[in-house]
Amino acid sequence: MEGTAITRPTRYLTRMLLFLAAVALALSLIFPPLQDAFMANAVLNGTIAGVLAIGIAYSLRQIVILWPEVAWIESFRASAGLAAERKPPRLLAPMATMLGERSGDLRLSAVATRSLLDGISSRLAESRDISRYMIGLLVFLGLLGTFWGLLQTIGAVAEVIGTLSVGGGDLSTVFDDLKRGLEAPLAGMGTAFSSSLFGLGGSLILGFLDLQAGQAQNRFYNDLEDWLAGLTRLPSGGVISEGDQSIPAYIEALLENTAESLQDLQRTISRGEESRTTTDSNVVVLTEKIGNMTEQMSSEIRLLAKTIAALAEKQRND
């Protein structure tokens, strides 16, 4: 079961934590203007911040869940298959089901290895779909706030222009009315730019975290593929491409199953031969012991006969 070591995703998690620490430091340095931008539309920006927090937690979870997978593989390799009897992690559940209670000289067919790797690859891709959706959701929320703010700005500007009148009025009063009227368009522009700022900034943060999570999952998949490659038994005809396959897949699977059964039968016969050899050795030892006991009993009988003869001779002399 020895082979390529499965790399733990420690360095990828370290990169993510260092990046988040750097982002937190940068946000603390620009906190006052950032707070003003956030309050331009607290509801929408708060929604963006909540989605960002959920995306960060999910990206970290994608790294953390790889630890039980790596630990299960290491335990399986160290105990020669006994780890498969315990409840496996989620990603490697198909592998544990396929390996079952096999132990010793474990060998997999090329079809079984490909099936295992395809199943694990699909599970890894499925876990990344949610993080990618959250990245797109942040961009969408930022654009939604932008269009929302622009609509507010356009409506407010149209209202200011419609109510603006300079005929026969005091010029200072007109300017005061214009300034008060421009507060609404400026608030709309604040909503537009702040939501774009938070949405795009959050998507950049989640993008980097998703990149690290993807690299960790790819490294885990590659190490797993290297390990399974060492356990794969190629067909006797060598590597056959899909276009050059000369026999149907079910026949190849049947032949591989037959070969595995013959190997199991050979191992059973070998164990029976070893048991028979041990039994024969025990019989030889027992025979030798019985021979020794027979000789000893013969010696004792001769000695007893001599003793009886001596006693009889003495009795006659007396």
Tell me the H-state helices in the chain: 10-29, 31-38, 42-64, 66-78, 93-99, 110-163, 171-231, 249-317
- Residue 107, pLDDT score: 66
Q: How far apart are CA 38 and CA 115, in angstroms?
A: 50
Q: Where are the domains of the chain?
A: 10-233, 250-318
The token pair that represents 46 in the structure block: 């708060």
- What's the pTM? 0.64
Q: How far apart are CA 163 and CA 156, in angstroms?
A: 11
Share of the chain above pLDDT 70, in %: 68
Q: Categorize the per-residue pLDDT at 108 as very low, low, confident or very high, splitting at 50, 70 and 90.
A: low
**146-158 tens-digit pLDDT:** 877 777 776 656 5
CB 196 within 8 A of CB 153: no
**257-307 tens-digit pLDDT:** 676 677 677 777 877 777 778 887 887 888 888 877 888 887 878 788 778
CB 128 within 8 A of CB 110: no
Strand partners, 233: 109
First to last CA, the chain: 87
